[in-house]
Amino acid sequence: MKTVLLILGILLLIAFPAKAQWIPYSTGVGFSLFSVDFYDDDLLTYNDQLGLAVGEGGTVLRTTDAGEEWTLVYQNLNIWLNDVKWATPTVAYAAGMGGVIVKTVDAGITWTVLRPFDTPMHTFRGIGIAGWNTPDHVFFVGYAGTFFETTNGGASFIERTDIPYTMHSIDFAHNFTTNGRGIITGTGGLAWNTTSGGALWVQRNTNRYDYLNDVIFVNDDEALVCGNNGTVLNSTNWGRTWTVIPQFTTQHLRSIDFNFSGVNKVVTVCGDNGTVYTSTNSGSAWTWNNASPVGEIRHFYGVCLNGPQRGTIVGQIGTGVGNAGMMYNTFNNGAVGITGTGTSVPKQFSLNQNFPNPFNPVTKISFSISKAGPVMLTVFDMTGREVAVLQRSCRIGK
């Protein structure tokens, strides 16, 4: 049987880190990045080419090719932008320090200030779009009870006072317009949920006392949260009760996202000191595989999986050449794809040259085996050092 092994993000014939699953990208912008979002990043119908990343210096970066290349489209050097969210294919919001809110209506090309800087006490940390493709109803949460709502696309804002605590993140169920479900997470393990379209928020017990930094709805019932000290929580009843996932790291986890891969869900979290973990089993057994970029010690602040096999992570400013904001991309979620290309049985084993070589980001290696059985494919650098095991104990053939 002849088999083709598809490899992403590895340059053969030169030295490269083991488990090379996330590819660094130099933004060329001398600021940390705090959040990244792709339009339609977590539903079954994808438009995963269009992305935005925001950070210090009012920085907004834009991509139209799923993260291959990014362009600086906006800056306000006097503020930080802490979060960005798409509402429709053309409308997106970003918000941050001092209560600043900016909006685009042309898919991220130009930006308008909806709410200028007023006071450091009004610093936003999370944005929630209230319903799919509904650009007018948006919630903004943040420091020390900062809570604003607009129902007219930012023409005016209502200041809410019903949650007097720091809130880090907010998300709504996919069918929010019919079920009214939403979740807010914040400081000291605090979480709230709503089933009334955001009119009333109820505080819930999470059994944790760590900062809860990010929340996402997986579907209308299930939600995931990540937080400090390796905290990951799961709810199957839209945030009413929470289960603590067994700890797999002690690092602070800053951001979490998911995407579908067939019937399963790929879930990735990122955090301090270059921490990245990915689960590929929908969270049922939570077998996490360490996919951290090797040697990275800077902090990751935001992750978005913009398709079943693609994702982008952003984070802390670098201290090396260029001193630029940090970004890593993956184009296969660190996985290696295997495709059978023939049915005839070869007489002996053969391993062919990969093509193309060099490559970015994909190459193929063809190999043949004379009978079905476990296969392990190991890559060595030019000095003979083992740098990656691309396929281990996978039974090829019938």
Phi and psi at 63, nearest 5°, equal: -130, 145
Banded pLDDT at 364 (limits 50, 70, 90) = low
Percent of the chain with pLDDT over 90: 51
Percent helix, percent strand, percent coil in the chain, to nearest 5: 5, 45, 50
Average pLDDT over residues 25-39: 89
Which residue ranges does the chain devote to CATH 2.130.10.10? 22-330
Tell me the C-alpha distance between 134 and 138, whole Å.
Answer: 9
CB contact at 8 A, 88 and 135: yes
Average pLDDT of the chain is: 80
- Give me the pLDDT at residue 340, please: 44
- Residue count of the chain: 398
pTM of the model: 0.78
Tell me the C-alpha distance between 388 and 385, whole Å.
Answer: 9
Banded pLDDT at 239 (limits 50, 70, 90) = very high
Side-chain half-sphere of 138: how many Cα atoms within 13 Å? 29
Candidates 31, 37, 30, 44; CA nearest to 63 is: 37
Tell me the C-alpha distance between 191 and 194, whole Å.
Answer: 11
Q: Which two tokens stand for residue 273?
A: 């000191």
Tell me the C-alpha distance between 100 and 123, whole Å.
Answer: 8
* Position 320 pLDDT exceeds 50: no
**DSSP 8-state code for residue 179:** H
For the stretch 40-99, pLDDT in tens is: 754 544 457 899 999 999 999 999 988 888 999 999 988 999 999 999 999 999 999 999
Q: What is the CATH superfamily name and number for domain 22-330?
A: YVTN repeat-like/Quinoprotein amine dehydrogenase (2.130.10.10)
More confident of the two residues 69 and 320? 69
